Amino acid sequence: MKEPQRFFDFLKKKKRKFLKIREIEIIYLKSIFERKRGNFKKAEKYEKIILQKYPYSKFAKLIAMKEKGVKKDIIKVLFIHREWKKILEILKNEEKINPEMNFIKAYAFFKLKDYKNALKFFKISLSEGYKNKEKVNFYKGLTYLYLGDTTKAINSFSRNLIYENYFAKSSIRELRIIYLKSKKFRKRISRIIKKAKINEEVLYFYFDAENFKKVLKIIENVKDRNLIFKYLKFLITKDSELIEEIHKDSPLSYFSLLHNGLCIQKSAEIDETEIPSYDTLSLFLELKLEDDFWNRVGKIKDKEKLLKLSYLLNKDKKYYYSVKIARKAYYKYRKGENLCFDELLLKILFPLPYYEKVLKYVNKYKIDPALIYAIMRRESLFDTMAVSPKGAKGVMQLMEKTAKKVNNGKEINLFNLEDNIRTGIKHLRELIDSFDFYYAISAYNAGKEKIKEWKKFIPENEISIFFDIPYRETRNYLFYVLSDYLVYKLLYPELKLKE
């Protein structure tokens, strides 16, 4: 696709598809054009479509920040995009606003850590009849905690235990954190939990108390029988059939790999001739037309074609796309209840990019290379230009502040691959030196200060760290990194430090 004429022929042929996929960009340009022409009603019509149909888009945010459109639609978009100051600016002079808007106002103060005003408007939203009481109770509880009033926080969280929803579960989790942190409130919280509706969060209290009959009863009654519940049941009953269930549910998960290892089948040779659409897909990526790329990939249903496409992308060092497409192939193989996997598929799913650079620094800082690849995979899927919503950059997803600290005050370019890998490995080495293995991995996600705080009250055992870490994101991160770590160790036995 290097010849100019072929390129333009390609664009001409695909013009209609481009227009369909880029509908939102076209509507936004139309709104700007109509405003310049003075046709404000037409412009507003287009802006309304974007605010209501595409609220998560950057164009909706641009429109909302300029306060164009219906106020309710504008606030909704600003809420999605976390523009808390702008929300408060718009609602500042509004004397009469509905209960929902009062909740949003309270939440904006909460996110900006103005807890006194947050509490004031949470109370107003309830008194004015805001329907989602459990949501307000939960955030009121958190607000009381941050204001240092634990008793009122417990009262707020307790009001949610009559419900069976996300905020009931989250309230129990917060009660558990208070329970673990302070002996003063343990008896009271234990009494409250006994009256709570049965759900998975209640289970942890009974597991701690070694009331295993109650734990087993809860596991039987909850709808979502996830891997951790099955593993807890296995720890209590020692029933090996539970491990087999876990293995069938998720053969590449930590608990399965720990007990059953990794089943690898030898690969058949793959035909390396390019699939007909590969030129087109490669061009989409070169032109940064990701929507078009994924739209075309979504039409490929055959697992062999998906495997071949991921193989070709891997060869072209487009690891991010290669792994994502290999995942699609993996789930299609899993539909046949396969528990043994083609070696080629596994090595595309769990590749070893930037091998020499990784080995250079793992040997310098004495860290298992399998762990670095597991973290790199979970952090960025090996995308050297990755940027998280919080601003973490590169393959090891480092914040500028962290990188500067690790490099003794020196600023580095986090999009430079070698600097990013070196800094990430050195940072992990420092975390391992400060904490044990599990906490070091958790600290890579949540930060060193949070782990220092959590270590004071989380019991030091493998099971507790999986369900007592306060951040759901960090709990999931730890589980998935450990899963990938075991895959890398079993798939690449030669991946070792130099002796």
CA distance 420 to 417: 5
- What percent of the chain stands above pLDDT 90? 58
- Both 108 and 223 in one domain: the answer is yes
pLDDT in tens, 235-285: 889 999 999 989 988 999 999 999 999 999 887 777 777 677 888 888 889
Residues in Cβ contact with 128 at an 8 Å cutoff, skipping those fewer than 6 apart: 98, 99, 102
- Residue 11 falls inside a structural domain: no
Task: Give me the chain's average pLDDT, please.
Answer: 88
- Residue 432 falls inside a structural domain: yes
- Both 60 and 173 in one domain: the answer is no
- Residue 4 falls inside a structural domain: no
Low-confidence winner among 98-102, 111-115, 363-367 (lowest mean pLDDT): 98-102
- Residue 253 falls inside a structural domain: no
- Both 371 and 400 in one domain: the answer is yes
- Both 307 and 383 in one domain: the answer is no
- What percent of the chain stands above pLDDT 70? 92
pLDDT in tens, 320-359: 999 999 999 998 888 767 788 889 999 999 999 999 999 9
- Both 66 and 132 in one domain: the answer is no
Where does a domain end: 300, 320, 349?
Answer: 349
Give the pair of three-digit tokens for residue 10.
Answer: 């390609």
Q: Dihedral, CA atoms, 234, 240, 242, 248, nearest 10 degrees?
A: 140
Give the model's confidence band at 12: pLDDT under 50 very low, under 70 low, under 90 confident, else very high.
low
- Both 311 and 215 in one domain: the answer is no
How many residues can be counted in the chain?
Answer: 499
Q: What is the CATH number of the domain that holds 145?
A: 1.25.40.10
- Residue 271 falls inside a structural domain: no
- Please give the pLDDT value at position 278: 86
Q: Of 205 and 336, which is predicted with more confidence?
A: 205
Strand 341-342 and strand 264-265: the pairing is parallel
Q: Of 70 and 226, which is predicted with more confidence?
A: 70
- Residue 261 falls inside a structural domain: no
- Both 385 and 288 in one domain: the answer is no
- Please give the pLDDT value at position 1: 41
Where does a domain end: 237, 264, 291?
Answer: 237
- Both 224 and 326 in one domain: the answer is no
- Both 290 and 336 in one domain: the answer is yes
- Both 397 and 414 in one domain: the answer is yes
Q: Which domain holds residue 399?
A: 355-491
Where does a domain end: 81, 111, 131?
Answer: 81
Across the range 183-205, mean pLDDT stands at 82
Helix-helix angle 4-21:23-37, to 10 degrees: 80
Q: Is the pLDDT of residue 154 over 50?
A: yes
- Both 282 and 383 in one domain: the answer is no
- Residue 7 falls inside a structural domain: no
Q: What is the CATH number of the domain that holds 487?
A: 1.10.530.10
| Helix or strand run (H / E) with residue 295 | helix 290-297
Dihedral sign, Cα of residue 323, residue 327, residue 332, residue 334: positive
Residue 448: CB atoms within 10 Å: 18
- Residue 229 falls inside a structural domain: yes
User: Is the CB of residue 34 less than 8 Å from the CB of residue 42?
Assistant: yes
Question: SS3 of 379, please?
Answer: helix
Q: Is the pLDDT of residue 6 over 80?
A: no
Q: Is the pLDDT of residue 109 over 90?
A: yes
DSSP string across 321-346: HHHHHHHHHHHHHHTTT--SEEHHHH
Residue from 498, 497, 449, 451 nearest 474 by CA: 451
- Domain count across the chain: 4
Q: Is the pLDDT of residue 166 over 50?
A: yes
Q: Is the pLDDT of residue 114 over 80?
A: yes
- Both 103 and 36 in one domain: the answer is no
